[in-house]
Amino acid sequence: MATVSLDRFRAVLTAEVRKTLSTRVWWLLFLPVLLLALAQSLLGSILQLLVPQATETSSILMLAGLASGLTMTAIVGAAFGTLLGTGDFRHRTVTLAYLTGSRGQVLAAKAVIAAVVAGLYALALVVVGPLLGGAALGGQQLPDLGRLAGLGAIGILVCALWGVLGVAVGTLVTNQAGAIALTVGYLLIGENLIAGALRAGDGSSLGDPSVFARLTPFLPGNAGDLAVWEPVVSSAGLGAQSRFVLEFLAGVSAPPPGWVGLLVLAAWTAAGIALAAVVGARRDIT
């Protein structure tokens, strides 16, 4: 029985892959990632505003540029996942999709594809950005391979999780325009407003944050940003200033370690997919 289910899932996954490759969405969304890679030296300049001793050619600026690009690529990955989740509803092919396998298998196949494509977006940024946008166009020094690979691996994982979370949102909100507006709008504006409200009235960031402000690292967008920025700030060797810089870059108060941010984002993703599976299984598609 398990072999039959696995064979069926492979068939569903193959059908979803073919459907995805037959559209232009995946490569059109690659274009903003390429622009982020080319602009990497400019993105890294944000750290110069916070750390005046960082020169224009410091290798830490390249890491900062890559981290900034990865946080934006996560939004692109989330948008792709949302488009993938809503695609069958948008084109009224959801009935045909559910004929290839169970609703859970279709959702799982979309989640796998979204994770792979969003992860590939991040991988492209990690490979192209430092070499072309940072070194060739920006004249910045390449950091050591270990730091670059470590940050890249975290960024790829964060983007992959956001791709899956996008599929969950697209399954819950089947209107494609509404789902995209919800996903991108939340990441660009909504979460900043929520974090701002939680931090309202909080004292100095170097003091003791309030209970509400301590919740900001556990918002999904902030959790991913925290995971990406934490190794960059640690590599900068800022000492006591590290906490202030990390709080500013990730938009959080009292940040936990970066690996906690990864776990928080993974938990949000798992909860989103579980909710999408329940709602999707009960939705009337006739």
Q: How many CB atoms lie within 10 A of CB 269?
A: 23
pLDDT tens, position by position, for the chain (286 residues)? 567 678 889 999 999 999 999 888 888 999 999 888 888 777 777 666 666 656 666 678 888 889 999 999 999 999 999 999 999 988 888 888 888 889 999 999 999 999 999 999 999 999 998 888 877 777 778 888 899 999 999 999 999 999 999 999 999 999 999 999 999 999 999 999 999 999 886 655 556 888 899 999 999 999 999 999 999 888 877 777 788 888 888 888 889 999 999 999 999 999 999 999 999 998 887 7
* Residue-level pLDDT at 76: 96
* Residue-level pLDDT at 239: 72
Cβ atoms of 147 and 251 closer than 8 Å:
no
Cβ atoms of 45 and 138 closer than 8 Å:
no
Looking at residue 38, its amino acid is L
181: number of CA atoms within 13 Å, CB side? 5
* Residue-level pLDDT at 56: 62
> What span, in angstroms and rounded, lies between the C-alpha atoms of 140 and 142?
6
Residues in the chain: 286
| Three-class DSSP labels, 138-194 | CCCCCCCHHHHHHHHHHHHHHHHHHHHHHHHHHHHCCCHHHHHHHHHHHHHHHHHHH
> What span, in angstroms and rounded, lies between the C-alpha atoms of 259 and 74?
17
Cα 49 to Cα 38, 46, 194, 252, distances in angstroms: 21, 5, 25, 18
Cβ atoms of 122 and 160 closer than 8 Å:
yes
Q: What's the pTM?
A: 0.92
* Residue-level pLDDT at 136: 76
* Residue-level pLDDT at 278: 96
Cβ atoms of 117 and 74 closer than 8 Å:
no
